[in-house]
Amino acid sequence: PEQKAWSQRFESALHPVINRFNASIHFDMELIEYDLTGSIAHAKMLAHTGIIKVLEAEQLISGLEQIRQEYRQGNFKPGIESEDVHFAVEYRLVEIVGDVGKQLHTARSRNDQVGTDIRLYLREQIQQIRQQLRSLQTVLTNIAEDNLETLIPGYTHLQRAQPLSLAHHFLAYFHMIQRDWERLKDVYTRTNISPLGCGALAGTTFPINCHYSANLLDFDDVYQNSLDGVSDRDFVVEFLCAASLIMVHLSRLSEEIILWASDEFKFVTLKDRCATGSSIMPQKKNPDVPELVRGKTGRVFGHLQAMLVVMKGLPLAYNKDLQEDKECLFDGVITVKSCLEAMTILLQEGLEFRHERLNTAVLEDFSNATDVADYLATKGVPFREAYSLVGKAVKNSIAAGKLLKDLTIEEWKELHPGFAEDIYEAISPRQVVSARNSHGGTGFTQIKQAIIKIRQQLATS
Ligand code: ARG
């Protein structure tokens, strides 16, 4: 356009730097398909209510569809002079269909328009991310199923605590991701509400039917208050919060994989397809994928924080500050999607568990100490007393350079007469894991049941 839509109100043209500063076209073109879809629904509503003629609506719609074709073919590239995607579409529409194009913005503002676009965009992204979460859950469950009998040291404070089934460890992540999946479902319900018809802030003088356009766009509901409708970005904050928690979960898993791949742990080997090398150290094989996921987590948290700060001081209703929602949201979406994708591939085909090393690791520590205390407690020794006795045994064993499994039966009996030969079986790692058969525990029976339940859950939702 040679002139802005609003140029008649002004004496002079915009300062070129301010023009650039004000524009959002360089990032909000991401919304163009949704903007076109929203405009088509608006045009249909205008015809349906008799605000414009059916023939006029048809011209608008064919012009909008032509823009869609042009865009998809790479032939619609509006520049900074168009300010934002909404004006870019409107200017092009008038070029294509002539003066009738100037009817499109009847009973609408860019404020309810952009609110509509961003919701249409986000609800689609939410569904895609939920699909990705499901794929990740399937991979986590497969790993669990393949590793029911693989043992791994369990840690608290990153100190050896009690041995676990590796399956139990991965199913913990399954459940975290399940909450993410449910959270996004919930965010979706508050995203899928139409603000179209709220106008600039106060509604409109035209006899519109906002339910009609909402219905065409598959929104579940419409806003009950126009001021709220045009200025609400709670759903963006909620999405970024849900995305942040997804990143927390991916980052924790990343941290573990990075540790496991180190020479200190040696629990996994990274397969070549998912690992990277060094420019100077010839021997290196680096876990760049989980490191990047851990690193990108900060960006998503940053976007959440940025959105909260954008919102906190805003008087009703629309303020240009809200234009800042887009880069936060778009980058949040791209980041979480790329991390889910990479992480799923890494888990599916990038890790080789070192079963030998995992199963022997649990033999070389005192992580069966609780089980010795439990053993005595079942023989009638009050738990706290049993615990103290075993603490002493641990201290003496460390001094003697032994493990609990190396104590002779005489040494056990000296510690407490209640010990018998079956103590050796009771403290073997496999038995230690197997015995934790309480609900949600690492016992093999528990995990088998958990996997059956999870498989059903994945099949039915
Ligand atoms: N580009 C603007 C945004 O992203 C569109 C809405 C502009 N509305 C206005 N009253 N200036 O928020």
395-454 pLDDT tens trace: 999 999 999 999 999 999 999 999 999 999 999 999 999 999 999 999 999 999 999 999
461 has catalytic annotation? no
Q: pLDDT at residue 141 above 80?
A: yes
Q: pLDDT at residue 203 above 90?
A: yes
Mean of pLDDT over the chain:
97
Per-residue model confidence (pLDDT) at position 104? 98
Per-residue model confidence (pLDDT) at position 451? 98
249 has catalytic annotation? no
Q: Best substitution site from 320, 324, 327 to test ligand 1's pocket, by max atoms within 8 Å of Cβ? A: 320
276 lines ligand 1 (CB under 6 A): no
Catalytic residue among 12, 157, 279, 438: 157
Per-residue model confidence (pLDDT) at position 41? 98
Closest-CA residue, ligand 1 atom 12, reads: 323
Domains of the chain with bracketed CATH = 7-106 (1.10.275.10), 111-356 (1.20.200.10), 361-460 (1.10.40.30)
Q: pLDDT at residue 7 above 90?
A: no
pLDDT in tens, 15-32: 999 999 999 999 999 999
82 lines ligand 1 (CB under 6 A): no
319 lines ligand 1 (CB under 6 A): no
Interface ipTM: 0.97
Exposed (0-12), middle (13-18) or buried (19+): which is 275, by Cβ within 10 Å?
middle
Does pTM top 0.80 for this prediction? yes
Q: Best substitution site from 323, 324, 327 to test ligand 1's pocket, by max atoms within 8 Å of Cβ? A: 323
Atom of ligand 1 at shortest range from CA of 84: 1
Model confidence band, residue 461 (pLDDT cutoffs 50, 70, 90): confident
Q: Ligand 1 center to residue 239 CA distance, Å?
A: 21
Per-residue model confidence (pLDDT) at position 409? 97
Atom of ligand 1 at shortest range from CA of 326: 4
Per-residue model confidence (pLDDT) at position 3? 82
